[in-house]
Amino acid sequence: MTEVNFRGTAWERVTILGVPMDCVSMTQAVLFADDMVRGNRKGAIFAINPEKIVAAVEDPRLLDAIKSAALLIPDGIGAILAARFGGVRTGSRVPGADLMPELCALAAIRGYPVFLFGARPEVTPRAAMALKDAYPGLKIAGFQNGYLTAAEAQTLPERINASGARLLFVGLGSPRQELWIHENLGKLTNVNVCQGVGGTLDVLAGRVKRAPEAWQRSYLEWLYRIVNDPSRIKRFPSLVSFAIKVWRGGVASKDARQG
């Protein structure tokens, strides 16, 4: 069993169906990101949930990207329950949709410039404006929607470098965002923390509504999404598959981590 001692706190990394996840709290995740920037280190933050675990089991490229990340937050209640089933004491969820605003609040205080990448053309600038309104002093170094030409995609790392951004939020959906970050993080000279944020830019822009707090507190945000977007029901079989595999012994080990 591995524990990470970091600023007087500790956490464990658990492996679920061969996919790692860090059992951290929101406070630990924010402090970790702050330490990455202040120490001029570089790393990715990915959210781990049952659907992504199943996808990573089936896609070696996604699994490699996940294993390369600096921090893997416990985003889904199913993943947390799986860790507990394997004997790991875990706290509450650390949703990626909540971590991003927390990191923006940190960036506003510390003066860290941020860059937004992803979502539809009309969404990204609205998300940037919403963040600036919510966190006075936040410096949006730049933003780019997720619909790029081949030429724009090739020059995007250079644009991000020129912006001076220290935090980069990538909302391309999974697995695109994890694969993009894995491929491009080494090209980003100034970025210290790169978080995959899924559809969070749509939420910030008001295009998509998150589940009410009561649903979130009851760990039923996944059900709210299905109710409001029935097309998500096609993802349900992967959740069933995840539960069966975990029940059969999918929590393999707890590993050492260095903060």
pLDDT of 135 reads 97
Q: Rounded to two decimals, what is the model's pTM? A: 0.86
Dihedral angle, C-alpha 210, 212, 214, 215, nearest 10 ° = -50
Q: Which pLDDT score, from 0 to 100, does residue 32 have?
A: 96
In a domain, 92, yes or no: yes
Predicted local confidence at residue 242, as pLDDT: 74
Q: Within a domain: residue 102?
A: yes
pLDDT, position 256? 44
The one-letter amino acid at 204: L
Between the alpha carbon of residue 34 and those of residues 13, 119, 160, the distances in Å are 20, 25, 19
The pLDDT, as a whole number, for residue 12 is: 86
pLDDT 10s digits, 38-63: 999 999 999 999 989 999 999 999 99
Q: Give the three-class secondary structure for 73.
A: strand
User: Is residue 224 included in any domain, yes or no?
Assistant: no
The answer to whether position 244 is within a domain reads no
Q: What is the pLDDT of residue 22?
A: 94
Instruction: With a cut of 70, list the residues of the chain below it in pLDDT.
Output: 1-9, 209-241, 243-245, 247-259
Q: Has residue 196 been placed in a domain?
A: yes
Instruction: Tell me whether residue 235 is in a domain.
Output: no
Flag whether 219 is in a domain: no
If one counts the domains in the chain, the total is 1
Q: Residue 55: enclosing H or E segment and its boundaries?
A: helix 50-58
Q: Residue 18 sits in which domain range?
A: 7-208
CATH number (domain holding residue 200)? 3.40.50
Q: What is the pLDDT of residue 259?
A: 47
Domain for residue 216, yes or no? Answer: no
Query: What is the predicted pLDDT for the residue at 11?
Result: 83
